[in-house]
Structure 1
Amino acid sequence: MPIHNQNRGWSYSLTASLILMAPFDLLASLAMDIYLPVISEMPKILQTSPQAIQLTLSLYLIVLGLGQLAFGPMSDQVGRRPVLLFGAFLFAGSSLLISVLSSANLFIALRVLQGLGASAMLVATFATVRDVYGGRPESALIYSLFSSMLAFVPALGPIAGALIANQFSWRGIFIFLGVASFAASLHAFLRWPETLLTPSVQKRVSFKEILSHQHFWTYTVGFSAAMGSFFVFFSTAPRILIERQGLSQTEFSFAFASVALVMVISARGAKNFINRWKIQGCFKRGLGVLILGAIILALIEMTVGQNLWTVLASMSLIAFGIVLTVSVTANGALERFAHVAGSATALYYSIQSLIVGTVGTFFIMILPGDTIWPLAAFSALMASVSLGLLKGTR
């Protein structure tokens, strides 16, 4: 049954709305994961270093988060539709340009533009959901469906990337991203109405109140510890599993997907964990699991040495800790800022992206990137810092 909201110019059914919105959410995440199977080949292809290729992951993540601080206020001033279309066409164009280049410097620069486009797409999409469905039960359903879809991206993205690369080389991956985003952009150009009725005339919200609150920092750093652990894992996994363990691109993709599936399965039980242990209890236990997983990884590296099964088993444990942690960090960080929810949410995601992109990349750069030491070091340090911050909160 169609859901009408004439005040916002949006008269699509829930199904039609999801078909229109979901591609932008999926593509922004897919651009991070889909080319992992060819990461180990890219230094040779572009005649550059593994560290330079690592920047294509790190900078994308950083720009994806920080861009929200700019595009959020922009969408309140000029509208959702212009920001969405700008981001979508920028994402499409940069993806297609990446597919024809052969320069490492241009590759890095275009990944930054791709991240900017993805950031604009996400901001405009979620702002539209708030405009059209805010305060209605459909909003919870849409956010739940988006989260469910994104949970499968790390599992299915590398598999899709391996299949495309096997048939059309690494360039085919970015052609796919470009064509898919261009198709979604054209669909949006024809059917996405403006949902912002009145441009914002309010004074810019000061971030000082949010940034001065220790609860915000405690749970935001915890969010960074969890998501950063996954970032460091997928940044180093191609070198560990393809270069050192000898897996093919397809075998790597399925091995990587097995860890992502642990996260998907764990997420289904998150509600039960929260009901039983509450926010702080889940947070402590999740961080404790991250530290335990890091200790096990370090012991493996120092004793028997890494192999496929020890890496996957240890990472599956860390994956459970990631889910346990992130299931409560948003509520913990944002619960005191309902009056400035938009600004607090933007800061929450932007700071997380900045911490993960800089600190995670630092460990990958200074420690051997084809070992599990970067993951063990990052998880242990950041989880310990988060627990220390928690201890200092009242």
Structure 2
Amino acid sequence: MLMAPFDILASLAMDIYLPVIVQMPESLQTTTSVVQLTLSLYMVVLGLGQMVFGPLSDRVGRRPVLIVGALLFAASSLGLALTASAIFFVILRIVQAAGASAALVATFATVRDVYAERPEGAVIYSLFGSMLAFVPALGPIAGALIAAHFGWRAIFAVLAGLAVAALVPALVRWPETRPAETPSSSTAWRAILTSGAFWIYTLGFSAAMGSFFVFFSTAPRVLIDGAGFSQIGFSLSFASAAFAMIITTRFASRFVTRWGQAGCLARGMVMLLLGAVLLALGQMFLTPSFASFVMPMWVIAVGIVLASSVTANGALAAFGASAGMAVAFYFCVQSLIVALAGTLFVICLDGDTAWPLVGYAGSMALLVLAGLAILRR
């Protein structure tokens, strides 16, 4: 309950104002392209910022990094709600992303510190992985509702208020969890970069998160343009995939106890492969519909949870004393793979069809399964 709000806020702020981008340039006396640029800047700073805040959290502790990050996020969000300058809007958006990055890395490092050897860890990691995947997809809906009633500036005021609401209990109840002994940076980096388990489990997380990213990128064109879904129908269909993830999360700890980390990751990749096969069959033999596109995504959603419930523990298991640095690199690698490979599949294959999702989920799952086989040897 203490950690989840920071994970949600970091995800929610990615693109919550997407529906009102066309309304904002007039107030900021700028162009739409400048406002759109802040979407990309946020994601870049969110990923790269962790390379700064991860090692910092190993040195000074999780709690101070989290508190400073939350304060930066809240203050910059309030500034975004008040500013009338495009330059200040861009600067404040970068500060907001930096704050979110600090809070996110401190949160995941804390999970590693406290829950590495406990069954709750699998549930928490799968929940946080699910949030990172589907919260940005639902964020624009929330942004549209807030802007419709109170104007676009209220979106950032709400983010500031939520950050303060998350920070207050954290100030009272969030203890320092950093291990007493921390290895040198050079030793820690060498251990991370040469760890086969780190790379395989990070690829597994990339396969899971990227599959949802490609689904999010192609679903509007497939379901609204291709299948003729209304906006409400599309939103409900999209939410059903998130619901499948939430249901599966309920059983994550049982799956990990029964199959272990490698077993869960392997089964998650098999579910991604099965979903890709079902999508391919639907694309070849059916017209775009709920049955041909959304229902196979339920299978992939189960795979996403199975994978994300163990990938963090699998990747970070050997780096308790340098968890902040390992978490930072874990997210940075995942962000780059998802952004580059996911976008490449959407561009190179027909983005109006299921083929980008088939290609990404299928190829990444096969790559991870091959890596697991090598790791076992």
Q: Please, what TM-score do these two structures have when normalized by structure 2?
A: 0.76
2:284 is the counterpart of 1:302: yes
Among 237, 240, 243, the alignment partner of 1:255 is 237
Alignment length (residue pairs): 366
Does the 8 A contact of 1:28 with 1:119 survive in 2?
yes
Give 1:73's aligned residue. Answer: 55
Deviation at 1:259, TM superposition (A): 0.6
Q: Give how far 1:22 is off.
A: 4.6
Name the structure 1 match of 2:102.
Answer: 120
1:61 CA displacement:
4.3
Q: Does 1:387 align with 2:369?
A: yes
**Which residue is equivalent to 2:298?**
316
Instruction: Choose the corresponding residue for 1:326, options 286, 305, 308.
Output: 308
Deviation at 1:190, TM superposition (A): 7.5
- Structure 2 Cα separation of the partners of residues 337 and 236 of structure 1: 37
- Aligned CA-pair RMSD: 4.2
Deviations 1:112-141 (A, max 9, x none): 54332211112344566788xx5899x976
Within-5 A mapping of 1:1-394: 18=1, 22-32=4-14, 34=16, 38=19, 42=21, 60-78=42-60, 80=62, 83-96=65-78, 112-125=94-107, 134=114, 148=127, 151=130, 154=134, 157=139, 160-168=142-150, 172-182=154-164, 184=166, 187=168, 195=176, 203-204=184-185, 205-338=187-320, 340-393=322-375, 394=377
1:263–1:323 contact (8 Å) kept in structure 2: yes
Deviates more, 1:229-238 or 1:270-279: 270-279
User: Is the Cα–Cα contact under 8 Å of residues 72 and 99 in structure 2 kept in the other structure?
Assistant: yes
1 CA distance for matches of 2:142 and 2:151? Answer: 12
Unpaired segments of 5 or more residues in structure 1? 1-17
In the alignment, the residues of structure 2 paired with residue 308 and residue 142 of structure 1 have an alpha-carbon distance, to the nearest angstrom, of 34
Residue 105 to residue 140, structure 1, CA distance change in 2 (3 Å): farther
Give, as a single letter, the amino acid of the residue that structure 2 aligns with 1:324: L
- Give the whole-Å Cα distance in 1 for the aligned partners of 2:229 and 2:149: 18
For the structure 1 residues 48 and 82, does the alpha-carbon distance in structure 2 shift closer, same or farther, using more than 3 Å as the test?
A: same
| Mean Cα deviation higher: 364-373 or 55-64 | 55-64
Contact 1:158 1:256 in 2 (8 A): no
The 3 A distance-change label for structure 1 pair 44 and 332 is same
Secondary structure in 2 matching 1:207? helix
> After superposition, what is the alpha-carbon deviation per residue over 1:319-366, rounded to whole angstroms, capped at 9, x for unaligned?
011122222323433334445444333332332222122222232344
The 10-residue stretch of structure 1 (300-309 or 157-166) with the greater mean CA deviation from structure 2:
157-166
CA contact (8 A) 1:62 1:357 kept: no
Structure 1 counterpart SS, 2:246: helix
For the Cα contact (< 8 Å) 1:294–1:375, is it kept in 2?
Answer: yes
**CA contact under 8 A between 2:57 and 2:324: conserved in structure 1?**
no
The CA distance in 2 between the partners of 1:190 and 1:257, in whole Å, is 33
CA–CA distance in structure 1, aligned partners of residues 96 and 193 of structure 2:
28
Distance 1:107 1:390, change over 3 A: farther
Q: Deviations over 1:194-234 (max 9, x none)?
A: 94899988632431222222222122111110111112222
Once residues 143 and 277 of structure 1 are traced to their aligned partners in structure 2, the CA distance between those partners, rounded to angstroms, is: 12
Provide TM-score, normalisation by structure 1.
0.73
Change (3 A) 1:172 1:310: farther
Unaligned runs of 5+ in 2: 26-30
What percentage of aligned pairs have identical amino acids? 50
User: 1:278/1:76 Cα in 2 relative to 1: closer, same or farther (>3 Å)?
Assistant: closer
